[in-house]
Chains A and B, each alone.
Chain A
């Protein structure tokens, strides 16, 4: 029977959500490919992961090696290329995460396998695999076909729901093909982003700013936003471009590479809604977006939207909020 490989992603002793999303999300596809699902687990001291994964896959293929203790794309690539050459899975799935982005392209190039990155869905067309992925910041979807099998794809975080299928996986241990130390790349340490005085994950109300606010280092711009936040008793957070410019510290960033927040109110000002940002705020109770672009993806996650210049809307909103407070 054909096999679908799903690479297990883990970090600092914990399995990452993407692992379960992939194992659950590829079930229909595996069925249509007449394939069973094998979770490929590489690492050191990983017995507890085996237990956690048992109900999620048909088989768990384990390679243990001291050299696999921390993620090293080079070491992972050698082990996976060995396993793929030996077992010839029809499809290999890897997370489109920092880990997968580092690993998958070089692995696919080494093996000469077609790789579609950042996929959000799959179809079979005349027996050939077609991947769905997004382009132009999520404004366009693309159907991309693989020319030859076997296939490789990286999967966007949260593109699939993790629903436990209640399986009972067979566990197979394979010897590590790593004979020597990896010298081209060496893991040194993890560093956490500095923690500031405000913890946005604890906030009940958040006013978040994005590229659309323009120059956030401008006093006038900043005070318009801060006034609204003050009236609402909200904390100010932001999307990536604001941090990239150094206008707000990293610990105010909402999204995959920043924080995940679930406030009662999330007011997004000038944020387009790239999936990396949405992943960090979509669980908020009430989401409001103000953006000039009616096609901005943020409006597909928001509950309420205003399509306008935020600098015209925000001062009036601040005033009305102030009135509402005074009126009670």
Chain B
């Protein structure tokens, strides 16, 4: 089985202080830890599990600068066979549609049965690149995938719906499957894996290498324009209890007691 997995190198902002840059178009990268997008970590694992079960090849692809090779190396160390990184100054300002065009240009000449992506990215959270890519390639897709069972040119796929419900469908391959977190247990990177990864191919391609012109990507080739970022206005804020843990916990217990929330 030939498998492609699209990954993104993103900042971890879960517990970090996010500062908007003076041009209001981005956030300050200093002090932030970068790594593979959480959803993509599951997509990579699913790709490698498929290869281990059915044989074949896993190719990891990313769009980004040199620093995003950390994420590709991680994929290679886990078991991907080769990696491709697309970098070009003209890509600056690309929206999800333009990025899908880039991925399409890279992938359309390749052989593939399944293309895995994460269902969304932790930075911009568009959740649309995989499905757009499928449309551009002219193949079916499923988003928020929580289980995949390939069988004779098709796959039985579970999709996560709301309220603990899942939908089971049969989808023709090749297809794009945008993976939801929790679909598997991503493996750790082993020392052996890191050693092997050093010998694996990591190709860097520019726009002209993949047959796209600068006008097809970036702000020109996008359908959306980011006007500005701003910190959301706070409409309501909790009463913050201050002091050392002893004091805050005591205050909180007092409040819970007053409100009759401690069972007696």
Contacts and interface: CB of A to CB of B under 8 A. Distances in A.
Interface of A: 11, 16, 71-74, 96-99, 101-102, 104-106, 108-110, 112-118, 125, 130, 133-148, 183-193, 205, 211-212, 232-233, 240-241, 243-246, 250-251, 253, 256-260, 264-265, 272, 286-289, 292-296, 299-309, 312-314, 316-317, 319-321, 323-325, 328
A199 to B, nearest CB: 12
B241 A192 contact: no
Given A114-B223, A188-B170, A312-B245, A301 B236 contact: yes
Interface string B213-256: 00000000011111111111011111111000110111011111
Given A118-B126, A192-B164, A140 B231 contact: yes
A144 B227 contact: yes
Contacts of A140: 18, 20, 27, 229-232
Contact of B164 (A186, A244, A259, A292): A259
B152 interface: no
A325 B238 contact: no
B161 interface: yes
Contacts of A141: 229-232
A317 B128 contact: no
Given A137-B122, A186-B170, A320-B250, A304 B135 contact: no
B162 A256 contact: yes
A320 B258 CA distance: 13
A108 B96 CA distance: 12
Contacts of A71: 167
A115 B132 CA distance: 10
Interface in B168-216: 168-172, 181-182, 185
Contacts of A258: 163-164
Contact of B256 (A105, A256, A265): A265
Contact of B169 (A105, A188, A323): A188
B263 A102 contact: no
| Top 6 closest pairs, chain A to chain B, by CB | A320-B253, A114-B223, A244-B182, A316-B249, A305-B238, A105-B128
A136 B18 contact: yes
B240 A98 contact: no
B226 A102 contact: no
Given A115-B97, A137-B14, A147 B123 contact: no
B231 A232 contact: no
A316 B250 contact: yes
A183 B172 contact: yes
Interface of B: 11, 13-18, 20, 27, 96-97, 100, 119, 122-132, 134-136, 140-144, 156, 158-172, 181-182, 185, 222-232, 234-241, 245-246, 248-250, 252-257, 259, 261-264
B225 A145 contact: yes
B172 to A, nearest CB: 5
Given A109-B97, A138-B232, A259-B164, A144 B159 contact: no
8 contacts: A11-B161, A109-B97, A109-B100, A114-B224, A142-B229, A192-B165, A258-B164, A287-B238
B229 A110 contact: no
A304 B18 contact: no
B227 A307 contact: no
B91 to A, nearest CB: 17
Most buried by A among B27, B135, B262: B262
Contacts of A286: 256, 259, 261
A185 B20 contact: no
A324 B237 CA distance: 27
B31 to A, nearest CB: 14
Given A114-B224, A325-B262, 20 more contacts: A98-B167, A99-B161, A102-B159, A104-B128, A106-B132, A117-B126, A135-B229, A136-B27, A142-B230, A191-B165, A243-B182, A258-B163, A289-B238, A293-B15, A295-B17, A304-B238, A304-B255, A305-B241, A321-B253, A324-B257
A188 B168 contact: yes
Given A71-B167, A325-B263, A307 B240 contact: yes
B253 A317 contact: yes
B238 A299 contact: yes
Nearest to B159: A98
A109 B135 contact: yes
Contacts of A308: 245, 248
B18 A295 contact: yes
A117 B224 CA distance: 11
Contacts of A307: 240
A173 to B, nearest CB: 27
Contacts of B15: 212, 272, 292-293, 296
B164 A106 contact: no
Contacts of B126: 117-118
B235 A300 contact: yes
Contacts of B259: 286
B25 to A, nearest CB: 9
A313 B249 contact: yes
A317 B100 CA distance: 50
Contacts of A101: 119, 127-128, 131, 143-144
A147 B240 contact: no
Contacts of B162: 16, 97-98, 256-257
B227 A184 contact: no
B163 A257 contact: yes
Nearest to A302: B238
Contacts of A114: 97, 223-224
